[in-house]
Amino acid sequence: MHPAFSVIFLTTLIGVGQGFFLALYTGESYAAVKLLPAQSAPFYVWGSAISVGFLVLGLLASFFHLGHPERAWRSAAKWRTSWLSREVIVLPAVIGVVFIYGVVHGLAWDLSRVGIHTGIGGDLTLLIGAVGVLLTFALFLSTGMIYACIKFLQEWATWLTPVNYTLLGGASGFTLATAYAAVGAPELTGFYGGWAMILTSLALVTRAASLIRNARLRPKSSVQTAIGVRHRTLKQRSQGFMGGSFNTREFFHGAPPWFFRSIKWVFLLLVFPLPLALLATGLAAGSATVLLAAFLIQYLGLIAERWFFFAQANHPQNIYYQTVG
Which pLDDT tens digit goes with each residue over 112-131? 888 888 888 789 999 999 99
pLDDT for residue 238 is more than 80: no
pLDDT for residue 10 is more than 70: yes
Q: How far, rounded to the nearest angstrom, does the alpha carbon of residue 291 sit from its chain's CA centroid?
A: 20
**Mean of pLDDT values over 15-33:** 97
* Average pLDDT across the chain, whole number: 92
Residue 310 CA to residue 256 CA, distance in Å, equals 15
* Angle, CA 119 vertex, CA 118 and CA 120 arms, to 5°: 90
pLDDT for residue 77 is more than 60: yes
Q: Residue 247: enclosing H or E segment and its boundaries?
A: helix 246-250
pLDDT for residue 46 is more than 80: yes
pLDDT for residue 325 is more than 80: no
Higher-confidence residue of 240 and 189: namely 189
Residue 17 CA to residue 84 CA, distance in Å, equals 19
pLDDT on residue 323: 62
Cβ–Cβ contacts within 10 Å for residue 289, how many? 11
Assess contact for 55 and 18: CB atoms under 8 A: yes
List alpha helices for 33-119, DSSP H: 41-63, 83-107
Give the predicted TM-score (pTM) of the model: 0.93
**Mean of pLDDT values over 10-25:** 98
